[in-house]
Chain A
Amino acid sequence: MQPLPSDLEAVKSLYKEKYGFSDAEDYVFKARKGLDERGVAEISHLKNEAPWLREYRLKALHVFAKKRMPNWGGDLSAIDFNNVYYYIRPSERSEDNWEDVPEYIKNTFDRLGIPEAEKKGLLGGVGAQYESEVVYHSLQEQWTKQGVLFLDPDSALRDHADLFRRWFGKVIPVADNKFAALNSAVFSGGSFIYVPPGVKVTVPLQAYFRINAKNMGQFERTLIIADRGSDVHYVEGCTAPVYSSDSLHSAVVELVALEGAHIRYTTIQNWSNNVYNLVTKRALAHAGAFVEWVDCNLGSKVTMKYPSVYMVGAGARAEILSLAFAADGQHQDAGGKVVHAAPDTRSTIVSKSISKGRGKTTYRGLVKVERGAERAKSHVQCDALLLDPESVSETFPYIENEEDRATLTHEATVSKVGEDQLFYLMSRGLPQVHAMNLIVRGFAESIVKEMPMEYAVEMNRLIEIQMEGAVG
């Protein structure tokens, strides 16, 4: 192994070197900072949208203005909504040939290693978003032939308006929360996926999100519909340059798993430490459907994100795996929500949080069982690992039960790295820094192992970067 830098600055410079570089701005369109009706109408106009969507955006803007900031969770007091660029268009259109993507953007993604996996055939499709727009989108022929759609929302609205409109905003309504309203007003980019009945997409579809400009706000919108008996795995990753001023990322992700469908949604969140990451993610699981969220949060300044599954059909299943790592100056307020609204539904939430230095992790979760969800079963397991005396961990699980025939269990633990474990590894000749790395990786293992190999390798590498400087 290469020698390890041992302080915070070193960690920052490592991130900066790998992901935190920035490009000169050479944009087709950059809106002015701030948020008002004119700006929202301008986005809609630039995208040549139908009147209903324009109205939808404007309505959402009013809801956003009316809703109060959450008085719980992370500290959002430093967000200045007037100091954010809500829309930046980096290129004229979304390309389906990598060669046609503007040179500097291509270089960025090359440097991040994004096209590699596609070339190797490990992915079924790739989307790449730079600032507000998707600059590249492709889907392997074998899937297009079977009727799978993997598009950016603008193309979906243009070519499949009925399908899009039928589900858009149905899982997460405008007024769900302040940031969902914000996204509904200014959303741009993201993914639209439709998998026809019975089609099983055997390789993951991947989207990669990149923020480049200072004070950028990225508001992508993702809608995935898995029709009856279909199967799809979506993976998203993200990075941003390191700036001294803050950026805002506020996505809305809606999943619909129809009867017997299976959706797995994997996130590797690695924003730089100047990004507020306030995301609403929710899935509807119909009868016999199975939805999995694998949600890993390593980056950002403050993350507030609670992927949820509403099980509305009998026998639906939900699994939420949440991994959070907060180093100095970070607050990962993550978790998950499951709502059992039908009989014989089952859910599992596993959360692993690691706090380092003055980092703070919060697990916030809800298990709700509605009356009539007979024989519903749910198990929640939250473990927190505190690496330093200043590290902070909070656990707020809510269990609300209206059904006497449901079985619900919850367990949580908080502890530090076991001295006996550390001693054992060090007695075998491992330096302390490697021993700590191993223990933390072991702690995260149950979630990391759920990822495809390539991503698991990447995850372990990211954990290692976060671990830099953990011991002096």
Chain B
Amino acid sequence: MDRHEIEAWMDRRREPEWLRRLRLEAFEAYERTPLPALQEEEWRRTDARRIPLGRVVLNGFRDGALHEEHTSGHPAGVAAYLESGPRRTGAWMETAYSKRGLILTDMELALREHADLMRPHLEGSALSLERDKFAALHAAVWHGGWFLRVPEGERIEQPIWVRSWLPRSHRFAGPRTLIVAERRSRVIVIEERESEPGADAAFHCPGVEIVCGESAEVVVVTIDRRGDDVWDVSHERARVGASASLTWIVLHLGTLARKTFLETSLEGAGAEARMVGLSLLDGVRQSDVVSTFHHGAPRTRGDIVFGGVSRDRGRSVYRGRIVVPRHARGTDSHLTHRVLLMSPDARAESIPILEIEANDVKCKHAASQGAIDPDQLFYLMSRGLPRVEAERTLALAFVEDLIGRAPAGWVQERLRERVAERFNR
């Protein structure tokens, strides 16, 4: 892959000049940035050399060929629905919302029709190129993904549902997600990521950006059910404005190996963010998640609960940082990491970190790791449950504590269903 190839690719995609410039800058950063070394603190536990960078291709995605709208079947009880992939198969929206300016569409289409809305966010992207080689790669070659914009003051009661999927033929993907919730808006959006497993390893390098305007109330739920052949390096970032509130729920059920950066910037006074995360690891799957809560303004509140369940040879690493600079007076931030190890070959690492430069703060973190409580197991077995069944029940109970933090109803049901599915495999 070289500069000419990228230029030709952008020509085919008929991309605007400002985007071409962004991509070329990013490509330069990609070329000059070395692979993260094992000595780098955040990459000590995932060997970047094993990530199949050779999968990166430019012509693998849609190339902007698709225009026509399909309005095939959509699930009941949602405000809007989108199937996002190399070919569009479904998109639907309650008419009242589309009239008032709610936008939910593929990135390719959004670039043509809503470039003016997206440009400030893409140009001022919080996904820093300097972060690492993969962030630069994503910024250079991203394609696909989706765009959600909730107009100012729009309060949407039913959830918005997005299904992202990739067929077997696509061994590389770099989808970009942009969620913009304008001032005083309210939205719940749930995305399920899926991919069709292939014969050899696939490489995904997605980027997610969530922008919560002043006083917005936003819930973002991601359920990752991609195939067990996927190597994933993902940079996801949320910016939370003054008095806004974000609940970010991340459920990791798929992929072979992941390196995920989840960054939450509390940028306005009184901003609030909650994060609930769960990694379910089985087989030889491994997960390395770095989450950062950056309290960038006074009186911000943060609450993170991250859980891990490892079975078989599953291995999880969780590094959670709370950063409070000098001016962030009145910060209140908590982080909890809990791990359940269900087999002798399972492994887990917890690295909760506090970096505090202000003194008018309340910051706490806690971490615990352990096995299923033998007393509880004995109790269930004495009631006639076979061991496997009893263990599964207790593991689901462990998970339930996390799911209970999601919005009640449809979202919780969906999470429960997906977890049970994975457990029963």
CA distance A414 to B365 in the complex (A): 9
A407 CB, min distance to chain B CBs, angstroms: 4
Checking B356, B357, B369 against A408 with a beta-carbon cut-off of 8 angstroms, the contacting residue is: B369
B230 CB, min distance to chain A CBs, angstroms: 26
> Which residues of B lie under 8 Å from residue A396 when comparing CB positions?
351, 353
Say yes or no: A386 contacts B356, CB within 8 Å. Answer: yes
> Which residues of A lie under 8 Å from residue B188 when comparing CB positions?
none
B349 at the interface (CB under 8 A from A): yes
What is the interface of chain A mostly: helix, strand, loop, or mixed? strand
A78-100, CB < 8 A from B: none
> Which residues of A lie under 8 Å from residue B360 when comparing CB positions?
389, 416
Say yes or no: B352 contacts A410, CB within 8 Å. Answer: yes
Interface size on A, residues (CB 8 A): 35
Checking A394, A397, A403, A416 against B359 with a beta-carbon cut-off of 8 angstroms, the contacting residue is: A416
A71 CB, min distance to chain B CBs, angstroms: 8
A159 at the interface (CB under 8 A from B): no
Binary flags per residue of A443-454, CB closer than 8 Å to B gives 1, else 0: 000000000000
Binary flags per residue of A359-388, CB closer than 8 Å to B gives 1, else 0: 000000000000100000000000010111
Say yes or no: A399 contacts B351, CB within 8 Å. Answer: yes
A404 at the interface (CB under 8 A from B): yes
Binary flags per residue of B361-389, CB closer than 8 Å to A gives 1, else 0: 11111111111000000000000000000
Q: Which residue of A lies closest to B344 (CB)?
A: A404
The tally of CB-CB contacts under 8 A between chains A and B is 111
The residue among A386, A397, A398, A414 with the most chain B CB atoms within 10 A of its own CB is A414
Checking B343, B344, B352, B358 against A412 with a beta-carbon cut-off of 8 angstroms, the contacting residue is: B352
A377-436, CB < 8 A from B: 384, 386-416
A52 at the interface (CB under 8 A from B): no
Checking A402, A412, A416 against B365 with a beta-carbon cut-off of 8 angstroms, the contacting residue is: A412
B339 at the interface (CB under 8 A from A): yes
B374 CB, min distance to chain A CBs, angstroms: 9
Checking B344, B361, B365 against A395 with a beta-carbon cut-off of 8 angstroms, the contacting residue is: B365
CA distance A451 to B348 in the complex (A): 36
A349 CB, min distance to chain B CBs, angstroms: 13
Say yes or no: B354 contacts A393, CB within 8 Å. Answer: yes
Q: Which residue of B lies closest to A404 (CB)?
A: B341
A48 CB, min distance to chain B CBs, angstroms: 42
Q: Which residue of A lies closest to B353 (CB)?
A: A396
Q: Which residue of A lies closest to B347 (CB)?
A: A402
B350 at the interface (CB under 8 A from A): yes
B204-223, CB < 8 A from A: none
> Which residues of B lie under 8 Å from residue A389 when comparing CB positions?
326, 358-360
Contact status of A387 and B359, CB under 8 A, knowing A404-B343, A404-B344, A410-B352: yes
A329 CB, min distance to chain B CBs, angstroms: 16
Q: Which residue of B lies closest to A389 (CB)?
A: B359
Knowing that A392-B356, A396-B353 touch, tell me 10 more A-B residue pairs with CB under 8 angstroms.
A389-B326, A395-B365, A399-B351, A399-B369, A401-B349, A404-B341, A408-B367, A412-B364, A413-B364, A416-B360
- A-B pairs with lowest CB-CB distance, top 10: A386-B359, A404-B341, A395-B354, A399-B350, A410-B367, A416-B359, A408-B369, A414-B363, A407-B370, A409-B368
A residues contacting B by CB (< 8 A) are 71-72, 371, 384, 386-416
